[in-house]
Structure 1
Amino acid sequence: MSDPGRPGEPGTPDGPEGPDPRRLRPTSPAALTLAVVVGLVTGWLARPVSIAWLGSAPVVTWIQPTLLALLALVVGVTARHTHAALQVRHEPMEPHRAVNRLAFGRASAYVGALVGAGYAGYAMSWLGLNAELAGQRMLWSGLAALAGVGVVACGLLLERACRVPGDDSGA
């Protein structure tokens, strides 16, 4: 009788019947796309809903893109250090630390997609309007959307840096 916990045997999770569900997969492009769509719609609706409920639209200033750019910088530096430690110097890393960095990278990618697209949708909601501060709101929202793209990119780089060297499966 074979041990059901041995990898590669028929009937085990990573045998010929399918991939091992215990292995983490890379961030799903479909999930990122869904986050972008939800962010765009939410950002687009933010202006008319806030005007209807509060009487004015939210003001976007230099603080929002600056904070998102700072987050992208933190995630990017973490990705660079993680890549250097694991991929270049082949230093061992405690498993919980690697999982924490992986979760941070993945969460950053999803949040960056959602928030960045939200600011893009908000900026697009001002297109063609001759309202007071419309240009300023479009500028700062557009810059926040670009910073959100940076957060997504750095999050994906951090996730990739957490891969085990020699793991060709793409997980």
Structure 2
Amino acid sequence: MSSAPSGDEPSGGRLRPTSAAALTLWAVVGLVGGYLLHPLAIRGRGTAPIVTWAQPLALVLVAAILGATAYLTWRTVQVQHQRLEPHRAVNRLVLARACALVGALVAGGYAGYALSWVGMDSDLASQRLWRSVVAAVAGVAIVVTSILLERACRVRSDEDEP
């Protein structure tokens, strides 16, 4: 483990929020991957993947858990003015950042898969399209609640206090 030279001061331990550029990048990667999944699956397996209601419902459950965690964290830090234990704060920040990036990837993936079904005239195409749209919206909900959790972990620095 290396340490900073004795003349350097520590960086202050500040993290920047998850950037919109990173979220956009992961969403675009997911969009392209989801769009390509349909023709590649047909070529390789002969059939496209089915989207059941279990997939969007699982994503909604994850978003609800993240939202509840964000609310409880916000209430603890901002309303009750209590400090989180350092390891809990880091765990929540890591959870928030990871879920925000994966949520963007998943939202883009399901949106791309939904777009691949636009214009196809069959009951299964319509079913896959709408279930994918619901899953994409749930992925966006994961991103939003993750960002809320990340923001809830913010504490006032000693410089900000009166």
Tell me the TM-score normalized by structure 1.
0.85
SS at match of 1:133: helix
Unpaired stretches in structure 1, ≥5 consecutive residues: 8-19
Choose from 43, 54, 61 the match for 1:52. Answer: 43
Give matches, 1:43-82, under 5 Å: 43-82=34-73
TM-score by length of 2: 0.90
Instruction: Verify the 8 A CA contact 1:86 1:165 in the aligned structure 2.
Output: no
In the alignment, the residues of structure 2 paired with residue 167 and residue 48 of structure 1 have an alpha-carbon distance, to the nearest angstrom, of 56
Q: Which residue of 2 aligns with 1:146?
A: 137
Which residue type is aligned with residue 125 of structure 1? S
The residue number in structure 1 matching 2:28 is: 37
Which one of the candidate residues 123, 129, 134 is aligned to 2:120? 129
Does the 8 A contact of 1:38 with 1:114 survive in 2? Answer: yes
Q: Distance in 1 between matches of 2:149 and 2:123?
A: 40
Higher helix share: 2
**Partner of 2:91 in structure 1?**
100
Change (3 A) 1:61 1:168: farther
Deviation at 1:164, TM superposition (A): 1.1
Percentage of identical aligned residues: 55
Q: 1:41 and 1:60 mapped to 2: Cα distance? A: 18
In the alignment, which of 130, 146, 154 is matched to residue 155 of structure 1?
A: 146
RMSD: 1.8
Q: Which moved more, 1:87-96 or 1:151-160?
A: 87-96
Equivalent in the alignment of 2:7: 4
CA offset digits 1:103-124 (Å, max 9, x no partner)? 1111111111000110000000
Q: How many residue pairs were aligned? A: 155
Alignment equivalent of 1:84, drawn from 75, 78, 88: 75
Task: Kindly state the Cα deviation for residue 6 of structure 1 after the two structures are TM-superposed.
Answer: 3.6
Which segments of 5 or more consecutive residues in structure 2 lack a partner in the other structure?
Answer: 1-5
Per-residue deviation, 1:127: 0.3
- 2:62 and 2:39 map into 1 onto residues whose CA distance is 29
